[in-house]
Structure 1
């Protein structure tokens, strides 16, 4: 599993970044990722990136609601990534 790159609080979300967004040609928030994300942290979002010339989508970052706090957000984001990558 990929490790956490940075954790930053912005607006109403804590951004737990796993990969540099510059690695990707395209970044989306796919609907199918909502189920594993919400099963761990209600209201969270998963941003997936696709590198140029690749068919693979990888987790770029997970957004956790700010009221959770940064430490807990990092743990929840890791759990969400584990669920997505094991599917």
Structure 2
């Protein structure tokens, strides 16, 4: 985890530096995987600069949740998607 931001609606857990990506999206398939771990959560994926590779940029864990639980849930979501 690179950083954790505690916002109003979500705890935003950054997995990778957003500056490393050309494009960042929130695909439905990734959100469905996130929702299966923590209902209402979202995943942002990105295409790495100079590459065709897509990977997780960040996970947004919907509140109410404390920061420690959000980080643990984000780790579970990343593991589920990236293996």
TM-score bracket, normalised by the shorter chain, equals over 0.9
Runs of 4+ in structure 1 over 2 Å off = none
1:43 corresponds to 2:40: yes
Structure 2: any 5+ residue segments left out of the alignment?
none
CA distance in 2, matches of 1:49, 1:85: 13
Match of 1:8 in 2: 5
CA distance in 1, matches of 2:20, 2:52: 14
Deviation, 1:55, is 1.5
Structure 1: any 5+ residue segments left out of the alignment?
none
- Aligned residue pairs, count: 83
RMSD (Å) for aligned C-alpha atoms: 0.9
Match of 1:57 in 2: 54
- TM-score w.r.t. length of structure 1: 0.90
